Amino acid sequence: MTPTRSLLALTLLALLSACGGKEEPKAMPEQTTEAAPATAEAPAAETMIEGTPAPGADVDAPALFASRCASCHGEMAEGKDGNPALDKLTSADIQTKLDAYRSGQTMGPKTAIMAPMAKSLTDEQIAALSSYLGS
């Protein structure tokens, strides 16, 4: 199994296990009103897998970092296995880098890994991660 597939599998497993006990009573009706009838759990699982928060939901930056970033950048954003440390960067630096990766700019040797990760982040998630990680 390739490292990308392993990372995806671990992220998916963590997200699915984390969403098992949570209920979002306000978010569920909003998501199901426009879509065809579905079970109550299906929209929540799709939302968690895609990494986008339910409409109106706050982004949980620590959980997002733990599920999407910590495996490569370390639990404390200290850097890990040749991947850069994020703990000394400013919020503006993190915002700029994630926006650049998301837009498809080549930012260095880790672009092939970071571009798909950043591309799936919303503006709100990037802002939350930048604020949470930035010094």
What confidence tens digit (pLDDT) does each residue in 27-56 have?
434 444 444 444 344 333 333 445 554 443
- Model-level pTM greater than 0.85? no
State residue 7's pLDDT score.
Answer: 57
Model confidence at 98, pLDDT cuts 50, 70, 90, reads very high
Q: Are 43 and 37 in contact (CB under 8 A)?
A: no
Q: For the chain, what is the mean pLDDT?
A: 74
Q: Are 117 and 125 in contact (CB under 8 A)?
A: no
Q: Where in the chain is the domain with CATH 1.10.760.10?
A: 59-135
When the candidates are 3.40.50.150, 3.40.190.10, 3.40.718.10, 1.10.760.10, the CATH number that belongs to 59-135 is 1.10.760.10
